[in-house]
Amino acid sequence: MVQSIFITGGASGIGRAVAQHFAAQGWFVGLADVNEAGMAETAALLPTGMSSCHRLDVRDRKAWDAALSAFAEKSGGRLDVLFNNAGIARGGQFADCSTADHDLLIDINFRGVVYGAEAGLPFLRQTPGSCLLNTASAAGIFGPPGLATYAATKFAVRGLTEALDIEWAALGIRVRSLMPGFVNTPLLDITTAGTNQTARQEVQDSGLEFTPLEEVAQTAWLAVHEGKDVHYPVGKTAKRLRFLARWVPGLIRRTMKKEGRAKI
């Protein structure tokens, strides 16, 4: 039986790269997104007959049930991996961000992940050796200024991942997270509140590296198949930040306060 993966945020960026990587290994791929044109573009990059597209707003709990049921009909009932990847970014000082921005970040980046776990559990339970894979972020390792609510949602995903990995162990389900650094995707097109500068420009000006999408996809494959760790940082920045947060968290805090933004 062909193994299957259901990917939210499959229209671009990390979702597209992971879809291509798993499809190349012979997996059936379910793509879910609100961007139907983007999903079609991703599907065109995959082997014929090895994918399905499902319009899904991850904030809609009933839509989750409908999308996963439709996917299961095409995958023979298998859900080997549910990749909770859909997310958005909003930046700027906390006081300059709107309530609408805070709500949207929380609803998509965390509520959508919770809904995915809820809706996916029955399908994961009936698929031996299954895995729930969540996209967190290096911002879930140490909260940087200018990304307060975004970082909070990623910390929440990190906590949910750890708790569910313990709770679901008896069900034979592994739960893992990816924690990438900066990835050059449309998420970095955002303009920081109160400025005309994009997040991409800020990363470049800070001298930080972009993590290649294929490296993220390879790490997703490792997280699903290796099973040794719960969290998988991706890229030099994320790995450096994890080391510093563990051993010298005071240094990170002092540096961030001094410079007014994260320059790790």
Catalytic residue, chosen from 64, 71, 123, 150, is: 150
Backbone phi, then psi, for 166, in 5-degree steps? -75, -50
Alpha-carbon distance of 168 to 79, in angstroms, equals: 15
Alpha-carbon distance of 174 to 191, in angstroms, equals: 36
Residue 51's nearest CA partner among 12, 6, 103 is 6
Query: Residue 112: is it exposed, middle or buried by C-beta count within 10 angstroms (0-12/13-18/19+)?
Result: buried
Element (H, E) at 219: helix 213-226
Annotated catalytic residue 150:
yes
122-137: b (≥16 Cβ within 10 Å) or e:
ebbeebeebbbbbbbb
Encoded amino acid at 35, one letter: N
Whether the Cβ atoms of residue 197 and residue 188 lie closer than 8 Å to each other: no
Alpha-carbon distance of 140 to 143, in angstroms, equals: 6
Neighbour tally for 183: CB within 10 Å: 21
| Strands (DSSP E) found in 96-154 | 131-135
Encoded amino acid at 137, one letter: S
**Active site (catalytic) residues:** 150
